[in-house]
Chain A
Amino acid sequence: MSAAALPRQPEAPEPASDALLQVEDLKTVFHTEVGIVHAVDGVSFEVNSREVLAIVGESGCGKTVTALSIMGLLPRPAGQIVGGSIRYRGRDMVRMHPEERRAMRGDRIAMIFQDPLTALNPVHRVGAQIAELMLAHRDISRRDAWARAVELLKLVGIPSAGERARDYPHQFSGGMRQRVMIAMAIALDPDLLIADEPTTALDVTVQAQILRVLLDVRERFGMAIVLITHDLGVVAGVADRVVVMYAGKKIEEADVHTLYGNPKHPYTWGLLGSTTRVDRPRLEQLVQIPGAPPSLLNPPPACRFAPRCSYTQSLCRSEYPELRQANAAEHLVGCHFANLEGWGPGLSASELASRLEGAVP
């Protein structure tokens, strides 16, 4: 595999920071007929080289919009970044010239989408679509680009890749199409791969294959992966760190073991509790989070989860819970009670109330 040998455009000297990508106080809005939707509202996180960062949340929490903001692929003119910065190796991409941004997209930062059938062009052979990317970004001959495309298809596990490269997207199954997407994404050996729900539309057996391919290419090419998903099972298997989002905000962040072993935000408890799992005794009733996420036209002023949280106190409705550290230094939680002793899913709401009364007479 001569992946790293592909000639690459000269790069600016790397600044001294081990973070590959730094998203800071990102605010992305959508202008709609009914008003301004605050899809991502002040989200910060970092992605380090070679790590897998999972962004978890339900539909409408802003995870995909975050990804599109990073890629510079927000639908225009509705979507707009109105605040914050996205630094790639220290350089702010939000304020970058569009041409410069374009050169980075697909080259340094690549993305794979949930639905590969709509992401691939139906009237071009898949080999040509992969080759096109290399022709656009590299000084390479058509013949070499094609050969390289075939090599990539082989690498992601497509049998008889040489012939299959001549096929069109509709001739592939869902899982094979997602492999094609991965081949395309890694064609230019990017530093960062953003995978937006890459396995959601697939069967479990195929999901396992695709996750394996993703981890494989990371191992081989040493890229970082931002995995966007709602499936906490998938996250447990592949992520190093996890960011949980709710209603446009980051509400918890921790390394994967802390997040599953000692989660501190009631929303995270709810997500974990409502996930059906095969490794524990079956529950007669699943934990359910009542209600639905708030509208991002007029999000609740204080804690956004308060209307659905069973621990809600008056404080939660009056004051926004800034992220704070909970036990471990790298564990951030957006909940007023994160540092309360005994704060965990076992604590009952009435217990919390009586304890707070004791503290504040």
Chain B
Amino acid sequence: MSVATKQAQVPRRSRQELVRVTDLVKHFPITLGIVFRRQVGAVQAVDGISFSIRKGETLGLVGESGSGKSTTARLLLRLLDPTSGRVELEGEDITAASGSRLRKVRQEMQMIFQDPYASLDPRMTVRDIVGEPLVVWNRWKNGGAARVAELLERVGLHPDHANRFPHEFSGGQRQRIGIARALALQPKLILCDEPVSALDVSVRAQILNLLAGLQRDFDLTYLFISHDLSVVRQVADRVAVMYLGKLVEVADRDELYRRPVHPYTQALVSAVPIPDPIKERKRQHIVLHGDIPSPANPPSGCRFRTRCFKAQQICAEQEPELVDRGHGHPSACHFAEPMEVIP
């Protein structure tokens, strides 16, 4: 158990933007009928979100299941076509990219998935899995096997593991294989979709440390999606909080945890259990009632109002914009006010 208990340092980060997302919208149509399909509604999975990710930083994207986090990642990768809005990678609009240009763009962006059991083909060897991106890009002949060995070693596996199949590995090791695959093409951006949610605590720490090390070594930029706010605090430089297809608060990590201003963020942070019986039993919990509403029929005005402890008449009538309300970072609440929720 090697402990490197260095205090957090402010990571050096350049101001340059790698990704810029503007007014991104994704509505999935709900249709009726077979021959004469007509649209009767839409699931508003992502409904007008804007954010940017700077080079070398980690942006955490948090929210409950059903808030649109994974859809956002899929839109960035262009695995889904946005209904409207714009995605730029290094200043280049990739929203309409197609064919060879899209393929080229996708090299720069890779994904690490939540489920290390479902995201690896059981019939492929580790060599084939990690090397597949190289084969696809005709780089295999150029020392592909050596590259796979190097990648495996970098993620903490043995190069000899290349001949084995995924079922021979534990969950943590499988996740390492998935990470090696994501690194194969030396991407600029890695989208991590709940990469440690399926792992045990001790293994989770291994993977989080590995991701942090890789970021330092290869100057990677991460979009880190998670519903676990304690994990996000460990990895992210900035955090965006999402609720029902909208961003409700975006702030630097320490600011967000110390002085969250949106009631939803406050509730989320307050719901994170603290592994300390004295603190945990003394603290005030904000318990939200009910579940996240259906994105097919979101509440009018502020989408959070149905579960909010601050909701007033105006919240049903007027949708709060995501703007800086005098707290140094943007929030989308008519009654935004800092509150300390961590003892």
Chain A residues within CB distance 8 Å of chain B: 58-59, 159, 173-176, 203-209, 212, 230-237, 239, 256-257, 260, 266, 269-279, 281-290, 292, 309-310
Contacts and interface: CB of A to CB of B under 8 A. Distances in A.
Nearest to A231: B273
Contacts of A285: 3-6, 209, 212
Contact of B1 (A174, A235, A273, A292): A273
A234 to B, nearest CB: 5
Nearest to A266: B1
B109 to A, nearest CB: 26
Q: Which of A58, A271, A278 has the most CB of B within 10 A?
A: A278
A111 B291 CA distance: 24
Given A59-B200, A281-B7, A276 B277 contact: no
- Give the residue among B8, B171, B280 with the most A Cβ atoms within 10 A: B280
Nearest to A271: B201
A204 B271 CA distance: 6
A205 B288 contact: yes
Contacts of B253: 282
B94 interface: no
Contacts of B65: 174, 203
B227 A232 contact: no
A285 B205 CA distance: 9
A279 to B, nearest CB: 5
B172 A310 contact: no
Contact of A284 (B8, B227, B230, B277): B8
B342 interface: yes
Given A230-B200, A237-B280, A283 B342 contact: no
Nearest to B253: A282
A209 B205 CA distance: 27
Given A205-B267, A206-B291, A279-B279, A233 B274 contact: yes
B79 interface: no
Given A205-B268, A205-B288, A233 B280 contact: yes
A278 B272 contact: yes
A232 B275 contact: yes
A213 B26 CA distance: 36
A213 to B, nearest CB: 10
Contacts of A289: 1, 202, 205-206
A290 B65 CA distance: 31
Contacts of A281: 7-8
A282 B234 contact: yes
Nearest to B206: A288
Contacts of A290: 1-2, 206
Contacts of B230: 233, 275-278
23 contacts: A58-B203, A174-B65, A204-B229, A206-B64, A212-B287, A233-B274, A236-B275, A236-B280, A256-B277, A257-B278, A274-B205, A276-B231, A276-B233, A276-B234, A277-B274, A278-B229, A278-B269, A278-B342, A279-B342, A283-B7, A283-B8, A286-B234, A310-B2
Contact of B5 (A203, A206, A232, A283): A283
B8 A282 contact: yes
Contacts of B272: 204, 233, 278
Nearest to A203: B64
Nearest to B62: A204
A272 B227 contact: no
Contacts of A260: 275-277
A270 B229 CA distance: 21
Interface in B1-56: 1-9
